[in-house]
Structure 1
Amino acid sequence: MKPHTAFSVALAGLLLAACGDHRTESPVQSPGTPARPATKALEAGAAVLQDKPPIEALNAYLDGFHFYNGRPAAQMEAHHYCAILNEELIQCVIYDGNVKDAKLMGVEYIISGRQFAALPVEEKRLWHSHVHEVKSGQLIAPGIPEAAERQLMERLVGTYGKTWHTWHTDEGKSLPLGVPQLMMGFTADGQADAAMVAARDQRFGVASARKREQRAPIPAPPVDAGADAWRRGQIYQIPDPTGAHGAGAHASGRAPSAR
């Protein structure tokens, strides 16, 4: 058995059990007529008859927070459903909730520190580090035993993510309008909206502060100087000719300091 397969098998049963725990509804209702009986029958038939290997590989559920690169006060919760491709590469689809009608917000690619170090300087500016997300307790794997979550966080603490959001439901958009936007992760205390984090913690029955204490023994690797370029004022974002982007429904009203 390959190493990445062994890791996936060890965690899959536990992580899958977390999916659907502590319901988080999508913040928007999309326009459209309800599904007709024929459509529902087609959906049911496809569920039974069609194989879906890429979807079945999504066996890790992570909940954390993002903000728009260049608009750090526009923050939102992000539900990640991830496939562990190998020891150094994870790919995630991101939803705005964990219920059946949750909206697909975007994608995140997660790579190891070794892979990140080999990237060109310009490419590195698009990626964010995960050290603070893990060590602060902001990133959680809902519903699994502490030991399994600790193992997963030890794996993630030294990784880097590149995240694009394609449907901005946090801004109240009921359709995927505008262009994809590059997202970033928090790097220091005081950046994330405390009320947003507290609301998430209450919904899942967790305490980020306690998770911070539990994760204190996890070694914090040094962050590559090329990551989190927004902290140095190097901000890349796709200009949106539609003018679709606003302040963000969960904007805290203040930008996080680049500490």
Structure 2
Amino acid sequence: MKKNYPQRTFFIASRPSLLLTILGLLTACAGNTTSSNVVAPGEEKTPTTRTLNAGAALLQSRPPIDALNAYLDGFHFYNGHPEVQMEAHHYCSILNEEVIQCVIYDGNRKDAKLMGVEYIISEQLFAKLPDAEKALWHSHVHEVKSGQLVAPGIPDIAEHALMEKLIHTYGKTWHTWHTDLNKDLPLGVPQLMMGFTADGQIEQRLVTDRDRRLGVDSTQKKKARADIPAPAIDPGADAWRSGKVIQIEDPTGRPHQH
């Protein structure tokens, strides 16, 4: 099914000369190098189930899935628990020039578990939100400038243009399956996640391991992105920095951050 490529203008409005390059290569494969953190309990697929899957793949259309045409890899932590960190593989659909929606997995192989979702909006839309809503969102400035956020598999020039746009956005992220904590089922309630805002916050081993698996160099990307101006961050975002922590109370009493 044909993808809606014109939606990708969200990322390239300021660099129209890169249009053809990005449109042709944004879906490039970065290699299936990261397996899931857990094995879900249950019996193996039966021949009947495999046949049904194959038939569905051939006969059913999946427009929302086909629209997932951008792959981003970065890192999150539990709001209120910056020491509990994990890698997050984002598969994103660009709805328009100011809104992106992403599904988040714990790997980039077929066995990856759906961990959650992230909604990404422009700084213009974010500025219009009420203060109570802003507290749920995190900025992307440090993720971009540090080289932590990457778009594996596309040329550096295309990724650079992409990051020039993402640095002006904010994300709201909920994780629903906490495989980073070795939970083999999606237990408990969703947890609000945040992004890093300064050097020294992330465990460097996470970045080093990710870079090795995906064949990227975060240090080099940080240097290459030095020319991207860092916009002022809305004071309503990243509320955890001022001690405002928001999480859903879990009626099961099951701890999520330990």
**TM-score (norm: length of structure 2):** 0.92
Measure, in 2, the Cα distance between the counterparts of 1:2 and 1:207: 28
Identity %: 66
Q: Match of 1:144? A: 154
Determine whether 1:81 maps to 2:91: yes
Deviations 1:71-124 (A, max 9, x none): 111000000000000000000000000000100000000000000000000000
Give SS of 1:4's match.
helix
Match for residue 4 of structure 1?
A: 7
Provide the residue aligned with 1:95 in structure 2. Answer: 105
CA RMSD between the two structures = 1.7
Q: 2:25 aligns with which of 14, 21, 46?
A: 14
Tell me how far 1:17 sits from its aligned partner: 1.6
SS at match of 1:138: coil
The structural deviation recorded for 1:205 is 1.5
Structure 1 residues 176 and 192: alpha-carbon distance in aligned structure 2, compared to 1, 3 A threshold = same
Q: Report the counterpart of residue 243 of structure 1 in structure 2.
A: 253
Distance in 1, Cα, partners of 2:125 & 2:257? 34
TM-superposed deviation, 1:219: 1.2
Aligned twin of 1:186? 196
Which AA in structure 1 matches 2:25? L
SS in 2 for 1:18: coil
User: Given that residues 84 and 91 in structure 1 are in contact (C-alpha distance below 8 angstroms), is that contact kept between their aligned partners in structure 2?
Assistant: yes
Counting only pairs closer than 5 Å after superposition, residues 56-75 of structure 1 correspond to structure 2 as 56-75=66-85
Q: C-alpha separation between the residues in 1 aligned to 2:129 and 2:57?
A: 40
Measured in 2, the distance between the counterparts of 1:78 and 1:121 equals 27
How many residue pairs end up in the alignment? 247
Matched ranges for 1:20-59 at <5 A: 21-59=31-69
The amino acid that maps onto 2:101 is Q
Ranges of 4+ aligned residues in structure 1 off by more than 2 Å: 1-13, 243-248
Which residue pairs with 2:215 in the alignment? 205
SS of the aligned residue for 1:86 comes to coil
Per the alignment, do residues 51 and 235 of structure 1 end up closer, same or farther by CA in structure 2, a change over 3 Å counting?
A: same
| AA in 2 matched with 1:229 | A
Counterpart CA distance in 2 for 1:172 and 1:3 is: 39
Question: Hey, what's the Cα distance between the residues in 2 that align with 1:246 and 1:236?
Answer: 14
Whole-angstrom CA distance in 2 between matches of 1:199 and 1:241: 35
Structure 1 stretch displaced more, 22-31 or 2-11: 2-11
**Residue 251 of structure 1 aligns with which residue?**
none
Please report how far the alpha carbon of residue 149 of structure 1 lies from its aligned counterpart in structure 2 after TM superposition.
0.5
TM-score (norm: length of structure 1): 0.91
CA shift for structure 1 position 243: 2.9
Cα separation, 2, equivalents of 1:161 and 1:90: 9
Question: Which structure 1 segments of 5+ residues have no match?
Answer: 249-259
Structure 1 match to 2:114: 104
1:40-70 deviation per Cα after TM superposition (whole angstroms, max 9, x unaligned)? 1110111011110000000000000000001
